[in-house]
Structure 1
Amino acid sequence: DEEYEAMAPVQWPARAGKPPEPRVFADGSFFTNDRKARFVAPDVPALRSETTAARPLRLNTGRIRDQWHTMTRTGLSPRLSAHLPEPFVEVHPDDALRYGLMHDGFAKVTTEHGQCILKVVVSERQQRGMLFAPIHWNATNSSHGRVGALVAAHTDPFSGQPEAKATPAAISPYEYVFRGFILSRSELPLPSSLWWVRATVPGGFGYLFADNGDLTRWPAWFKARASDDVADYMDVGGGVYRAASFAGDRIETCVFVGPGHDAGDWNVVKTMFAADSLDDEQRRMLLSGRAPDGTGGGPIVCACFGVGRDTICDAIASGARTPAAIGARLKAGTNCGSCIPEMKRLIAQTATQAADAVKVAS
């Protein structure tokens, strides 16, 4: 340890007998006889796998804005986990129509090596014939999201780079009857046969899930883990179950289950869960899954300041038509700036909707 502390820092790359270079090739000269750069192609680049009638699409994998590798560090941050909490597959609208996929539905992605069940994001940013799925979720934090298991083990013979962006794949819709979420101060064992993903949230752990099981299994599961102070609501005919247990004035555990998108507002309930105490009005409103004032910010876009999509869209609609104008009102995009591309897309989307409305009116 003493030797390490005493060791002088070394700037890399460091050539033998040469002083450190703050920036290699800054003078425009390269390590060749004529000092010019050369491109050397050791082989003709070609994909090792081909699409087929059974696997007509190419699966591209990579990272998303706020996560890194398998979330061993970034996944511990509630702020970074707020933006995109679920594993997904991004699909072009034409391909979504062709394969019967719905935005915010589920899809099974299959390759020769494995399969995943992922949330669907329909977006014109994606190329036709291509799918994109992020690599970050694994068997520890999701039930069906280990995208790395879909990728062929082909590597480049010279660089060792895996062929992680062109695996032949098929996609098909996958249906769930119920969706929901759980918030808890500690990690929980979940019922069997769920699609689930775990995310770090302020104050504990969050689980987003989808289920084709019997709704009536949830009360017994919850009460086995709840305190004596419980509020619950069940509508078997409507497919709804909501329950919360309390420790003093603070939520200890809660579960919200509903059909389709009617489980409640995940972001609103997360805010209540993070609070040290709830007042009487908040406690009365909790099982509604809505904010006490009837509003909500929507899914988080700016992780730095916790600004939601609905809040940003409201600012755009009221005249903030640039990221700078949005930042001046909401602070969104004024720290790391990584949410600015998404804000630009929301601005463009609002402009398109306004133009369409003018056409309809005329």
Structure 2
Amino acid sequence: MKIIKVDLPDRSYNVEIARGILGCTGQLVSSVWSKRKIALVSDSNVAPLYQAQVAEALEAVGFTVHEYQFPAGEESKSVDVLADLARQMAADSFNRDDGVIALGGGVTGDLAGFLAATYMRGISLIQMPTSLLAQVDSSVGGKTAVDLDTTKNIIGSFYQPDLVIIDPDTLKTLKKRDLVEGYGEIVKVAALSDGDLWNLVKSINSPEDILANAEELSIHSIQYKADIVMGDEKEGGLRQLLNYGHTIGHAVEALSDGGLRHGEAVSIGMIAMQQIFEDKGLALTGITQELRERLEAVGLPVTSDLLDSDQVFEKIKNDKKNRDGHLSLIYIHTIGGPVIKSIPSDQVKDFLAIKTVKA
């Protein structure tokens, strides 16, 4: 078992990673929580696969488990579904001494995490991510949120879990597209960090390679993110680097109306943003092509017709990362050399000129 410790000023927790670790859920949760009532939250895809197994393991060591389920899909990451889950918990008499376990992908982690953050002003939370995207990205760092209309993650909070449990074996039940989606975030981290992860990424040429190396890919990605979060928990500085690919990515994801997954949109956003900075002479020539090759090797998209839409700029202009009339754009000068460039919001459209970089 690999343990990555996240040490923060107000809370510390472990990220525990091992194949087959799902079967040890009872013992792991007992190591951080006293006996209590648990809201075990999953979506309609994950619940039939793992919810009963996890509930049984928790009940075997004395926890009382209530299994909650919501419809799978980004559209469930909403205020309405959040309220419905809170009503169920209230009906089952949950109080401040109880806890929430988010068992599932990124939508579950964000939704159940925000549920824990807001129910009775905050109760205990454990993340159990079952998708690659959630394992390497959203389950670590404490970001929880729901969407509002087409704006992603606009209502949320930073709320750290007490424990993160990652079992790479859960990836075996993912459809190919769901597996590959998460790899977009891994390439992002590899490009930011250089070193061992980039070397590993250069050897990945198929979805089967992702599965075979899932544990090592997760360990490297999570360690990098944990180091960033420990240095900047609330995204005041260094943590902005993790938004690489997201400024344009979030815009095309929203405009796709469900046609693009998050990791796919990040892939498109990385290439679009990197090409812009390469064309301006601020990034080394050839970096964009290196990234494109690594993403295309597993079938991730690297461009979209949505980049032609003027609505892209409207989405970017209204991005929640806009601060004091400026937007921080992230690119890499070279592999392992990330840069944050602040641009006045009213100059973003001219600066990005996305149409000129569409492949």
- TM normalised by structure 2 equals 0.25
Higher helix share: 2
The structure with the largest alpha-carbon Rg is: 1
